[in-house]
A = this chain, B = another copy of it.
Amino acid sequence: MKHTRRSESVASQRGEGETTTTPAEPADRERARAIPEAAVARLAVYLRVLSGMADQGVTAVSSEELSQAAGVNAAKLRKDLSYIGSYGTRGVGYDVEVLVSHIERILGLTRNHSVAVVGIGNLGHALANYGGFPGRGFPVTALFDVDDDLVGIPVGGIPVNHIDEITAICVEREVSIGVIATPPPAAQSVCDRLVSAGVQCILNFAPVVLQVPDNVEVRKVDLAVEMQILSFHVARRADEAASVSVGNNGLGVDGMVIRP
């Protein structure tokens, strides 16, 4: 529809004046810093898709193919990959193995990250039993609970320890990621303990907003929120349907309407 008249004006070719800081700077680090959070999340997805392809013997892939398998726009994929370097071959595509290894490097997957799960209830059991983590460089090395009936019992091959031992054990086993699966009221206190044990990354399943120091990274998985977002879309869709069928005169009942 629109025509953007590009002016071939100022040659932007080797426009290399903008590097700012240090002169001889290979720039991997600059890159790592500059990667948008959203892109990091997608890189993890690309990595999984690529691993699957590698397992099936695929050796090369184009941005178009990969983007489709990952469910994103091809241009976005290329831009995401460009954040980590230029590892493609024009006219051909990307070498799967090469891409895998570079994404792994950027995501810090060249070393293992030891995981501790706190709160071995319904969810904690599922997590501890889950086989998907160790295989991907995230071995679960410690489990904690307050319940004395659980302490000592192995879950998924790891014995449960009492929460009071959290500091000593986290330090000893070099836990780098703490997973909180306790009831909400206990979450903040567990979080504090993890932090004082030196854990700087936390994955929180409890529906609670955790307060942490700046140097600690928290990610939350909040199922209730996910459900409510879905609910919002249901409602919106119902509204639209209503406005179409009723004829867009305004409000339905209480703003709520029924399914198409």
Contact = CB atoms under 8 A, between A and B. Distances in A.
Interface of A: 1-2, 4, 6, 10, 18, 21-22, 24-30, 32-33, 35, 37-38, 40-41, 44-45, 47-49, 69-73, 105-111, 113, 115, 122-123, 125-127, 129-130, 132-133, 136-138, 174, 176-177, 200-201, 203, 207, 209-211, 215, 217, 219, 221-240, 243, 248-251, 254-260
Contacts of A249: 22, 25
Contact of A26 (B207, B232, B238, B250): B250
Contacts of A210: 71
Contact of A44 (B106, B219, B228): B228
A221 B223 CA distance: 8
A28 to B, nearest CB: 4
Nearest to A248: B18
A104 to B, nearest CB: 9
A234 B176 CA distance: 8
A227 B126 contact: no
A74 to B, nearest CB: 12
Contacts of A238: 108
Contacts of A47: 228
B230 A106 contact: no
A230 to B, nearest CB: 4
A237 B71 CA distance: 30
Contact of A227 (B22, B105, B111, B138): B138
Q: 6 closest A-B pairs (Cβ-Cβ)?
A: A108-B235, A122-B126, A201-B230, A29-B257, A44-B228, A44-B225
A108 B250 contact: no
Contacts of A232: 32, 35, 40, 106-108
Contacts of A45: 209, 222, 225
Contacts of A2: 38, 41
Contacts of A29: 239-240, 243, 250-251, 255-260
Among A72, A174, A233: residue with most chain B CB under 10 A: A233
Nearest to A18: B248
A38 B111 contact: no
A25 B107 contact: no
